[in-house]
Copies of this chain bind each other. A is one copy, B any other.
Amino acid sequence: MNRDRIRALLEQVKSGEIESEDALEALARLPFSDIEDARVDTHRALRAGIPEVIYAPGKTPEQIVDIVAVLRGAQQDVLVTRVESDVASRVLGAASGGAYDALGRTLWFGPAEVPIVGRGRIAVISAGTADLPVATEAASVARRLGNEIDLLTDVGVAGIHRLLAEGDLLRSARVLIVVAGMEGALPSVVGGMVDKPVIAVPTSVGYGAAFGGIAALLGMLTSCASNVTVVNIDNGFGAAYVATLINRL
């Protein structure tokens, strides 16, 4: 199904030729829609009950605009991640109704206030100022996917009293996302303070032996806390996605 097909379908809805319900059905039945460069899977949202998410790097603003159009045409909410500000400007210029979070680099097409469907709170904790973009991406995505969020920043392990002072907040979360660069020790300490799943996100913050996030990644994989799992370097989105799935259980 190419764009012409969708356009025709939407025109038919507009002109009353077919009922919205029938159009919806038609769209829902599509295994995937062919557009020029990417098969957009309009089923995933139906399957997983969450908005479609688009990873921006490697796509041109035009490609993003096209994909957004198809999905919005199918009445879906859309979240675009890793959108640099110049790309965001160009997409927002061509696709109406989007909201851009510059720090978390996400672009959102959907209701301003997403209803809460998660059963508990997700805590997002980060160590340093430089980890904020990734922590913000995680928090922003988790919020758009229908979760209540607690964001706690600048609580590194070298000033352990800052972290301990927030023990109640940590223990009240149903799932925790811990974002850290450099030596990535924060998830181990947080993991020892709670008995809930902790999703660790290494960041590429640091220099020298940080090796673009390898030190943090290895530190998190070898954490002495048993309740820690790990996602890819800088993958705030992935952490928020899994936390969302867990929080809906």
A32 nearest in chain B by CB position? B162
Return the contact of A185 from the options B44, B185, B209 (Cβ within 8 A).
Answer: B185
Q: Is the CB of B39 within 8 A of A162?
A: yes
Is A24 at the interface (CB under 8 A from chain B)? no
Is A221 at the interface (CB under 8 A from chain B)? yes
| Interchain nearest-CB distance for A134 vs B (Å) | 11
Residues of B near A127 (CB, < 8 A) are: 224
| Interchain nearest-CB distance for A184 vs B (Å) | 7
A237 nearest in chain B by CB position? B226
Which of A4-12, A14-22, A239-247 touches B? Answer: A239-247
Residues of B near A234 (CB, < 8 A) are: 207-208
Is A130 at the interface (CB under 8 A from chain B)? yes
Contact with B along A173-201 (1 / 0, CB 8 A): 01000000011110011011101110100
How many copies of the polypeptide does the oligomer hold?
Answer: 8
A8 to B242, CA, bound (A): 38
Q: Is the CB of B59 within 8 A of A183?
A: no
Contact with B along A155-187 (1 / 0, CB 8 A): 111111110110000000010000000111100
Residues of chain A touching chain B, judged by Cβ–Cβ distance below 8 Å, are: 31-32, 37-39, 41, 44, 47-49, 53, 57-59, 63, 119-120, 127-130, 132, 153-162, 164-165, 174, 182-185, 188-189, 191-193, 195-197, 199, 202, 204-211, 213-235, 237-239, 241-242, 245-246, 249
